[in-house]
Amino acid sequence: MNKSVFAGFAVGTLLSFAAITGVKQGLLDTPAHASDSNTYRQLNLFGDVFERVRADYVEPTDDSKLVESAINGMLTSLDPHSSYMTPKTFRDMQVQTRGEFGGLGIEVTMENGVVKVVTPIDDTPASRAGLRPNDYITHIDGVQILGMTLSDAVDKMRGAVNTDVTLTVVRKGKEEPFDVKLTRDIITIKSVKFNREGDIGYIRITSFNEQTADLLEAAIDSLNKQIGTNRLKGYIIDLRNNPGGLLDQAIAVSDDFIDGGEIVSTRGRHPEDTQRYNARGGDVTDGKPIIVLLNGGSASASEIVAGALQDHRRATILGTRSFGKGSVQTIIPLGSDGALRLTTARYYTPSGRSIQAKGIDPDIVVSQTPPEEKKTSTLTGESALPGHLAAEEGDEMAGSDSFVPKDKSEDKQLLYAIDLLNGARKDAAFLGAGRTTASAMAN
């Protein structure tokens, strides 16, 4: 069975349940199989309930929907990131990770029975309509979301290009829900954008899809040519409000800046499941100073990159504490029945830190000043998600601010980073040339 890191279910006969649990006839009452016996009884209970619902519910039921709902209930009880994907949802996910898909351009999760906006994606209908992190979507075209699964809600928001959809939004600071009308579009995710800021290269990474590492290397090459290697003072890598994506792309992006040593490790339930990912050597920036911008909307793959560069002292992390999603999800295809998205491991930075429900603290804390109406609606963090995977040790940390002003002249974090690289501002935490790598970190 093929698996991928984004980081059949049978019902009806006792034989099916025995196959699932590994229980063999004649061994149920032995002490060695007491746990299996209990599991067998629980699955029998599920089968009894399933059959009673099929037979006696007030209206005829759809067996496949009953099983799908049962699977979803089991997975969503584990943590906010485990879920079952129908064949359609699985296909949509595969398209999205390739960097192009149809829809509104919005990252969402389910909370308290309604859809919660994680972040709108840049230059999409969602961002142009002014949707914000922590907005709650309660209705889609007037239909209440309460009672839907997340995949059902996402399916309703998707549709043919150039068709309209109306979302009813609840926002902290607003007394009443309000409607937002959006026109569906082809969402092409160019996950890397860049421009020149004087003699500084500014690179924004919006997500980690299959194209990200290649686009990053092309951006660095272009900026080198525009500015000139001798004049270029350094790079600003903007990971703010980047919700993450593919683990291999986070590793490849980190590898672009690190000469050697560990980038990240993942540790699952069993010691033999531990995997370590190391840099192959070679720094595409030739040791130029790097400042990474981070905030409460920076999650998962973004935190892997920031944690690796911070531990290797290869970059200065500036902004506010990150989201704190330190878990890895494996996509397990189930043939024609869709796929399972299952949390299978925690990840650790090179120094051994787990940032699950904690986040990464910046080397230089610079907060934005959101407008009055946004002050209560821009805090995000893993520790606030119901049912989240607990921190391994120590205190969990509350979320931090995710507000980024659209006007560059009001972006305190970006302006602070530019001043540092230009030498107009001094800070003891700024690494300057930033040539310290893994060998120095270990000393």
**395 to each of 195, 324, 353, 355, 400, how far by Cα in Å?**
39, 12, 13, 11, 15
**Mean pLDDT on 409-415:** 97
pLDDT bracket for residue 373 (50, 70, 90): low
- pLDDT reported for residue 90: 87
- pLDDT reported for residue 34: 62
Q: Tens of pLDDT along 290-329? A: 999 999 999 999 999 999 999 999 999 999 999 999 999 9
123 is catalytic: no
Instruction: Please say if the pLDDT value at position 423 is more than 60.
Output: yes
Beta-carbon count within 10 A of 74 CB: 13
300, 327, 354, 402: the catalytic one is 300
Which of 143-157, 363-377, 390-404 is predicted with the least confidence, judged by mean pLDDT? Answer: 363-377
pLDDT bracket for residue 6 (50, 70, 90): low
135, 238, 255, 311: the catalytic one is 311
3-state SS of 3-24 is CEECCCCCCCCHHHHHHHHCCC
325, 358, 374, 401: the catalytic one is 325
**Mean pLDDT on 326-352:** 93
- pLDDT reported for residue 91: 83
- pLDDT reported for residue 2: 54
**Separation CA 71–CA 367 (nearest Å):** 42
Instruction: Please say if the pLDDT value at position 20 is more than 50.
Output: no
Q: Quote the DSSP letter at residue 31.
A: G
Q: What percent of the chain has pLDDT over 90?
A: 63
List the beta bridge partners of residue 49: none
- pLDDT reported for residue 16: 28
**Is the pTM here over 0.75, yes or no?**
no
Residues 6+ apart with CB under 8 A from 301: 7, 208, 242, 244, 245, 246, 247, 249, 250
406 is catalytic: no
List the beta bridge partners of residue 5: 330
Instruction: Please say if the pLDDT value at position 45 is more than 70.
Output: yes
286 is catalytic: no
Instruction: Please say if the pLDDT value at position 84 is more than 80.
Output: yes
- pLDDT reported for residue 161: 86
Instruction: Please say if the pLDDT value at position 11 is more than 50.
Output: no
- pLDDT reported for residue 15: 26
Which of 162-166, 279-283, 370-374, 388-392 is predicted with the least confidence, judged by mean pLDDT? Answer: 370-374
For the chain, list the domains and their CATH numbers: 8-83 (no CATH), 100-188 (2.30.42.10), 192-441 (3.90.226.10)
Residues 6+ apart with CB under 8 A from 171: 132, 134, 135, 136, 178, 377
- pLDDT reported for residue 439: 32
Which of 324, 323, 294 has the alpha carbon at shortest distance from 309? Answer: 294
Residue 209 near residue 216 (C-beta atoms within 8 A) = no
Pairing relationship of beta strands 234-238 and 290-294 according to DSSP bridges: parallel
3-state class (DSSP) for residue 255: helix
Which of 13-22, 77-86, 172-181 is predicted with the least confidence, judged by mean pLDDT? Answer: 13-22
Q: Is 9 or 235 the better-scoring residue by pLDDT? A: 235
Residue whose token pair is 């999603």: 325
Average pLDDT, the chain: 86
- pLDDT reported for residue 376: 58
**Separation CA 434–CA 131 (nearest Å):** 37
Q: Is 89 or 368 the better-scoring residue by pLDDT? A: 368
- pLDDT reported for residue 3: 58
